[in-house]
A and B are shown apart, each in its own frame.
Chain A
Amino acid sequence: MDDKAVLRARDFWTALVLLAVSIFFLIQTTEIPFLDSKAAGVDSAEWYNSAALVPFGIFGSLFLLSLVLLSIAIRDGGAGRALSAAGVGLDMDELKRLSAIAVILFCYIFGLVPRVDFIISSALMITCLIWGFHGGSRAAMLTSSIAIALPALYASVMHFGRDQWSKPLDDDWVTLAAFIVLTVVMFWHARRDREGKTVLRITPAVAIVCPLILVLAMAFGFRQNVPNRTGLVFKQIEYHYYVTVKPLFQGK
């Protein structure tokens, strides 16, 4: 099946999603005062000044374009192919690969970065992405996804609320353990597979040094905000920067 046919089948579904989204937001827009905008009994705006005017135009246009897209997809046979996996170009291997990438990024941003030390969580994410996708091994991909999902799940379940994000360090230790275990597993596998050995050999260095340098540069060089300042590693660095290193440079 050619790419265009697959695209049209996908367009069929996209058009339906866009139609639903535009209808949902058109309904939401009706909640914004439009023809009769009064605040405390006083006319606050005319229709042409209403905050709903432009959104109505945007979602109305989106609705119309979705209909056009739907008609193009149906006319080109997309609707007929839309119900079969082959019709929409669904490749299970590719889907698994994409899901694994999405899981790693999702767990990193939603589970780890808010709750766990940034250097440790980034080291784990880097190792997962490099080992999981460099050689194209399905086992590596799956192991990497699990290796980041478990500490992310632990951190999210044990410290779900925002008030618990910073202080407890148990999730930092769990993530650090996951990083060490994953690195060991990676090297154990690398002993058997010769391919991509150089890349895997430098992975732990890249995983630790890159986030470390970045965080140090951002926090102490660029004076920018960095995530989770009370994390296991960063807390120590910050403490020693102010208590040990800085006074040393100031001659105190």
Chain B
Amino acid sequence: MEFVLTQLSGFSTSLAALVLDPVTYFYLIPSVFLGIVFGALPGLTATLAVTILTGFFGNKFPLDQALIALIGAYVGAIYGGSYPSILLNIPGTAASAATAMDGYPLTKQGKGGQALGLTTTASFIGTLFGTFCLLIFVWVLLAVSKNIASPEKALLALFGIVLSGTLMSKDLVIKGWISGLIGLAMAMVGLDPLLSEERYVFGWSYLLSGFQVVPVLMGAFAIPQIMEGARHAIMVGKTPKVGRILPEIGEVIRRMPSILRSGGIGTGVGALPGVGEDVAGWVSYGVGKAASKEGHKFGQGSKDGLISAEAANNAAIGGALIPLLVLGIPGSPPAAALLGALKINNVIPGPTIDPALILHVVAILVLASLTMLLMGLFTARVFIMVLRIPQTLFLPVVMVLTTIGSFSVGGGINDLFLMIGVGFVAYAMNRMHYPIAPLVIGVILGGLFDETFRRSLLISDGDLSVFVSRPGAAILLLLNVALILSQIPAVKRLGARLKPGTS
């Protein structure tokens, strides 16, 4: 209990400093607004919002201020995705796909305003729940992570890539793994981290420093969206009329158990390396359907169904930041973009991270969610109007934003060439149902995996038992092997046969 109180006291100090600083609002309000707009416009995503702002802020702004903008946009965009899901049955972001299941039927019943109000409140409480978990668990895990050495780090990075590949794959699981391997391969380009040996440079000096994170992020997330938007533009005609948006307090209190359950699930799924808000939304929706009293109404306009998805995807933000801050392993694609921002500012997440930075992040999350709540309840009609902007009008502007953002971080045309190259490849992969998140996570974690894997072997003089002799490493190795084996059809069949009750 004393630990919790100490954390709350540190957090209060950080929050007070943030609240009293006028600069905070200069960054926070526009970024949350921009985030909601990005989330609301189909074709733009939370990852794209954070990536573009990473390009804008680069390393030329104090990280404290840049984080306000990045986290504000992250929180806003995850919430903003609910607008087109509820009103048009078009998920604004992947994270809000589950929201459409009950949100749109509610709109058809003339309860669009109620759905938006409830979503806004559930998202707010969900974000706060995830943030509280971040505040508590990050310190516990940081204490544990002090015992994490190279073997554990290598296996954890591998676990993040394999897990992300497994869960993000819409088609065959091996496509997710191939995507992760392509990301890892891209991370091998340049001078190797231990011996400074040149790898796959092909005489091009630009490649000596490896692929830069921001152009890769921009290419992987922005270019495919722009291409897909131009190829198959979504035209939104009229938006349905919504009534009163402010939710009834009694209803919110009545549905609090569902919100908190979804918050817990969202935080837990978000904390899994490389998984993210969309999976959190679906898992929570599935659990909600089984656990809720009105589970049979899910899919027909159930408010419980709506908040199951929405509270979870916003709670996943706090969850996704736990592995990011503790281990430098992003919990979701937008968190990967956030890691890119930390990297270009030379901040290394992990046991040595500045505790003040963690408290600062937590305080930003709280303020951002409060800003989101106020904007969602009182300016929702502005975002509904935004929905009517045609994709073909804003996507070219996003292309300019992406280009200038990518250029300004590295300051070189080569970064733009890299961005467009990665973009074309990512688009082709998208069309063939290869998930892109594992690729990006592979690029980001590849260097860490390479360095820590070889360092482990260096310390043990090439003895591979270093990966099983340490308890933490043994557990992680087991998890990796189990995760891969569980996807092999023969093993799946064997598992089904061994299940009691099946012949």
Q: Does A74 contact B (CB under 8 A)?
A: no
Shortest Cβ distance from residue B205 to the other chain A in the assembled complex, whole angstroms:
13
Known interface pairs A28-B200, A110-B417, A199-B392; A125-B400 also in contact (CB < 8 Å): yes
CB pair A129–B399 under 8 Å, yes or no, is yes
Segment among B84-92, B101-109, B333-341, B453-461 that sits at the interface with chain A: B453-461
- Bound-state CA distance A226–B405 (Å) is 9
| Interface size bracket, A side | 35 or more
CB pair A214–B400 under 8 Å, yes or no, is yes
- Bound-state CA distance A48–B467 (Å) is 14
Q: Does B384 contact A (CB under 8 A)?
A: no
CB pair A45–B450 under 8 Å, yes or no, is no
Q: Does B411 contact A (CB under 8 A)?
A: yes
Enumerate chain B residues within 8 angstroms of A218, measured Cβ to Cβ: 56, 404, 408
CB pair A98–B231 under 8 Å, yes or no, is yes
Segment among A55-63, A180-188, A236-244 that sits at the interface with chain B: A55-63
Contacting residues of chain A (199-239) with chain B, CB-CB under 8 angstroms = 199, 202-203, 206, 210-211, 214-215, 218, 222-227
Q: Which of A32, A102, A106, A114 contacts B197 (CB 8 A)?
A: A32
Enumerate chain B residues within 8 angstroms of A199, measured Cβ to Cβ: 390, 392-393
Contacting residues of chain B (207-236) with chain A, CB-CB under 8 angstroms = 223, 226-227, 230-231, 233
Q: Does A7 contact B (CB under 8 A)?
A: yes
Shortest Cβ distance from residue A115 to the other chain B in the assembled complex, whole angstroms:
10
Q: Does A77 contact B (CB under 8 A)?
A: no
| Chain B interface mostly | helix
Known interface pairs A222-B60, A222-B61; A68-B174 also in contact (CB < 8 Å): yes
Q: Which of A65, A66, A97, A113 contacts B416 (CB 8 A)?
A: A113
CB pair B408–A225 under 8 Å, yes or no, is yes
Known interface pairs A65-B181, A98-B231, A222-B61; A126-B397 also in contact (CB < 8 Å): yes
Enumerate chain B residues within 8 angstroms of A72, measured Cβ to Cβ: 172, 174
CB pair A225–B411 under 8 Å, yes or no, is yes
Enumerate chain B residues within 8 angstroms of A53, measured Cβ to Cβ: 453-454, 457
Enumerate chain A residues within 8 angstroms of B390, measured Cβ to Cβ: 134, 199
CB pair B188–A55 under 8 Å, yes or no, is yes
CB pair A97–B462 under 8 Å, yes or no, is no
CB pair A48–B458 under 8 Å, yes or no, is yes
Residue of B nearest to A28 (CB): B200
- Bound-state CA distance A125–B404 (Å) is 14
Enumerate chain B residues within 8 angstroms of A150, measured Cβ to Cβ: none
Enumerate chain B residues within 8 angstroms of A46, measured Cβ to Cβ: 462
Q: Does A10 contact B (CB under 8 A)?
A: yes
Enumerate chain A residues within 8 angstroms of B403, measured Cβ to Cβ: 108-109, 113, 122, 227
CB pair B404–A227 under 8 Å, yes or no, is yes
- Bound-state CA distance A61–B480 (Å) is 15
Known interface pairs A7-B433, A54-B450, A126-B396; A65-B231 also in contact (CB < 8 Å): no
Contact with A along B163-201 (1 / 0, CB 8 A): 000000001101101100110110010001011010110
Q: Does B449 contact A (CB under 8 A)?
A: yes
CB pair B432–A25 under 8 Å, yes or no, is no
CB pair A215–B188 under 8 Å, yes or no, is no
Contact with B along A161-190 (1 / 0, CB 8 A): 000000000000000000000000000000
Enumerate chain A residues within 8 angstroms of B392, measured Cβ to Cβ: 129-130, 133-134, 199
Residues of B in contact (CB 8 Å), total 59
CB pair A110–B231 under 8 Å, yes or no, is no
Enumerate chain B residues within 8 angstroms of A134, measured Cβ to Cβ: 233, 390, 392-393
CB pair A125–B185 under 8 Å, yes or no, is no
Q: Does A2 contact B (CB under 8 A)?
A: no
Known interface pairs A32-B197, A226-B407; A59-B185 also in contact (CB < 8 Å): yes
Contact with A along B387-423 (1 / 0, CB 8 A): 0001011011101110110011001010011011001
Q: Does A49 contact B (CB under 8 A)?
A: yes
Contacting residues of chain A (124-159) with chain B, CB-CB under 8 angstroms = 125-126, 129-130, 132-134
Enumerate chain B residues within 8 angstroms of A98, measured Cβ to Cβ: 227, 231
Q: Does B424 contact A (CB under 8 A)?
A: yes
Enumerate chain A residues within 8 angstroms of B171, measured Cβ to Cβ: 7
Q: Does B35 contact A (CB under 8 A)?
A: no
Q: Does A30 contact B (CB under 8 A)?
A: no
- Bound-state CA distance A211–B454 (Å) is 46
CB pair A65–B397 under 8 Å, yes or no, is no
Contact with B along A84-115 (1 / 0, CB 8 A): 00000000001001100110011011100110
Enumerate chain A residues within 8 angstroms of B393, measured Cβ to Cβ: 130, 134, 199, 202-203, 206
Enumerate chain B residues within 8 angstroms of A225, measured Cβ to Cβ: 407-408, 411
Q: Does B330 contact A (CB under 8 A)?
A: no
Q: Does B160 contact A (CB under 8 A)?
A: no
Q: With contacts A97-B230, A97-B231, A214-B404 known, what are 5 further pairs, Cβ within 8 A? A: A49-B194, A51-B199, A101-B227, A225-B407, A226-B407
The 9 closest A-B pairs by CB, nearest first: A51-B197, A48-B457, A51-B192, A48-B462, A224-B408, A129-B396, A134-B392, A126-B396, A225-B411
A residues near B (Cβ < 8 Å) are 7, 10-11, 14, 18, 25, 28-29, 32-33, 44-51, 53-55, 58-59, 61-62, 65-66, 68-69, 72, 94, 97-98, 101-102, 105-106, 108-110, 113-114, 118, 122, 125-126, 129-130, 132-134, 199, 202-203, 206, 210-211, 214-215, 218, 222-227
24 interchain pairs, CB-CB under 8 A: A11-B172, A25-B185, A45-B195, A48-B457, A48-B461, A49-B457, A51-B194, A53-B453, A54-B454, A55-B188, A69-B178, A97-B231, A98-B227, A109-B403, A113-B416, A114-B416, A125-B396, A126-B400, A129-B396, A211-B400, A215-B404, A218-B408, A223-B60, A227-B403
